[in-house]
Amino acid sequence: MLALGAGLVLAQPALYGATLAQPAPGAGRGLEAWDLNHDGRVTWDEAWQNIQRRFAAADTDHNGGLSLEEWLAAQFPGRPPRPDRPAPDPQRQRDRRSAMFRAIDANRDNQVTLEEIRPVAESWFRAFDANGDGAVTPDELPRPRSR
């Protein structure tokens, strides 16, 4: 999940980013890491619990907000490099993650809080919940693009 949803969280490998496909720290890989009750579905409550846990782990100074440095440090790397594709440009990745931070920082105080992450994470969650049943299942996750 992005993105924390949208950063730490959701499909974007940020705190939301906030994605369901990204595990919480110390958890396994994939959607099952977000499925706290192991029923094969991730509800909003499960996603939000994961986001809050990831946020707390990323908030190294424990001030209730993430600085850009904490945000960048909390980012999971993208997909592993493939031999048939060029390696990702680290500066481009940093620029994209910095832009996401600025977009989520609604009050422009150079700190991203859970209150700022929540609406973005909820939006991403609704986007993943293709059938609108309040849960995300593996069949609702985007398929990798084939080239």
pLDDT for 79 equals 61
Say if residues 47 and 34 touch (Cβ distance below 8 Å): yes
Where residue 69 sits, what CATH number does that domain have?
1.10.238
pLDDT tens sequence across 71-114: 999 875 556 677 888 888 889 989 999 999 999 999 999 999 99
Domain around 46: 1-77+88-147
Q: What pLDDT is attached to residue 126? A: 95
- 98, part of any domain: yes
What is the pTM assigned to this prediction? 0.76
Q: What's the pLDDT score for residue 128? A: 92
In a domain, 83, yes or no: no
| Total of domains in the chain | 1
Q: Is 82 contained in some domain?
A: no
Reduced to 3 states (helix: H, G, I; strand: E, B; else coil), residue 66 is: strand
* Mean pLDDT split into 10-residue runs, the chain, 147 residues: 42 40 47 91 96 95 97 74 82 92 97 97 94 94 71
What pLDDT is attached to residue 145?
A: 65
Residues paired with 15 in a beta bridge: 8
How is residue 110 annotated by DSSP?
Answer: S
